[in-house]
């Protein structure tokens, strides 16, 4: 689904009812809006808060943003020739395109290393971007605020750094390099309009 369509589903999500977003090779992504929030999330709006879950056989767990980043880093290490293709796909998802349609660009390509099927990763990326836009309170140094996550996705695909060092930077948490965000960030002095695709590549 396109970003707006998925966003509408999330806005209309009922309390405490699962909604399956994607199924692929025995793995399900589903979302859930709990009617009660834990103390950790007391500042969140219960009507906007939602959870992203993965179900794989008997395993049911909540993935985090690192799953996307690690998966994409592994993919580009095994297929560096597809780096630009992956960047375009995940940028287009960020810009609102349908993840299922975007991944068709490389659906016949093989990757030696990854965490989940590409369709699962692509749909997770869309959901995490929506989560940042819709559910997170507070001010951001980025406009749009979702650029923080997208900057890291770009950096994990493009950067030659080792994966453990990249993960450490995310978990501290540090912002992504301005190389991947500045010209799209309306709060940055280097903001520009009408950028070309993959403008951040050197």
Q: Is the pLDDT of residue 137 over 70?
A: no
Please give the pLDDT value at position 34: 93
Is residue 86 included in any domain, yes or no? yes
Average pLDDT, the chain: 95
| Mean pLDDT to the nearest integer, 85-112 | 97
Is residue 194 included in any domain, yes or no? no
Residue with tokens 């900057």: 151
Is residue 145 included in any domain, yes or no? yes
Is residue 199 included in any domain, yes or no? no
Is residue 196 included in any domain, yes or no? no
The torsion angles phi and psi of 76, rounded to 5 degrees, stand at: -75, -25
For the packed helices 118-135 and 3-11, what is the interaxial angle rounded to 10 degrees?
60
Is residue 192 included in any domain, yes or no? no
pLDDT band at 44 (very low <50, low <70, confident <90, very high): confident
* Other residues' Cβ atoms within 10 Å of the Cβ of residue 5: 10
8 A C-beta contact, residue 22 and residue 29 = yes
Count: domains in the chain: 1
Please give the pLDDT value at position 41: 75
What is the percent of the chain where pLDDT is above 70? 100
Is residue 102 included in any domain, yes or no? yes
53-84 pLDDT, tens per residue?
A: 999 999 999 999 999 999 999 999 999 999 99
| Mean pLDDT to the nearest integer, 88-116 | 97
pLDDT band at 43 (very low <50, low <70, confident <90, very high): confident
| Mean pLDDT to the nearest integer, 123-137 | 91
- Rounded Cα distance, 115 and 75, in Å: 9
Cα 13 vs. chain centroid, distance in angstroms? 20
Peptide bond into 173 cis (omega under 30): yes
Please give the pLDDT value at position 136: 77
H or E stretch at 60: strand 59-61
What domain range is 59 assigned to?
3-184
């Amino acid at each position: 689904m396109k970003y707006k369509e998925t966003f509408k589903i999330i806005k209309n999500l009922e309390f405490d009812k699962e909604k399956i977003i994607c199924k692929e090779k025995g793995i399900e992504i589903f979302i859930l809006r709990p009617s009660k929030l834990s103390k950790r999330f007391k500042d969140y709006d219960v009507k906007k808060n939602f959870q992203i879950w993965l179900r794989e056989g008997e395993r049911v767990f909540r993935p985090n943003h690192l799953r996307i980043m690690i998966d994409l880093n592994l993919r580009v290490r095994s297929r560096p020739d597809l780096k630009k293709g992956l960047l375009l796909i995940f940028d287009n998802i960020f810009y609102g395109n349908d993840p299922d349609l975007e991944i068709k660009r490389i659906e016949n390509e093989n990757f030696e290393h990854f965490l989940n099927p590409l369709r699962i990763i692509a749909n997770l990326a869309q959901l995490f971007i929506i989560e940042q836009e819709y559910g997170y309170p507070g001010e951001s140094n980025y406009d749009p605020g979702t650029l923080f996550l997208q900057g890291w996705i770009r950096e994990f695909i493009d950067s030659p750094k080792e994966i453990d060092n990249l993960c450490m930077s995310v978990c501290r948490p540090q912002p992504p390099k301005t190389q991947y965000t500045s010209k799209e960030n309306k709060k940055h002095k280097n903001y520009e309009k009408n950028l070309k695709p993959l403008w951040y590549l050197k």
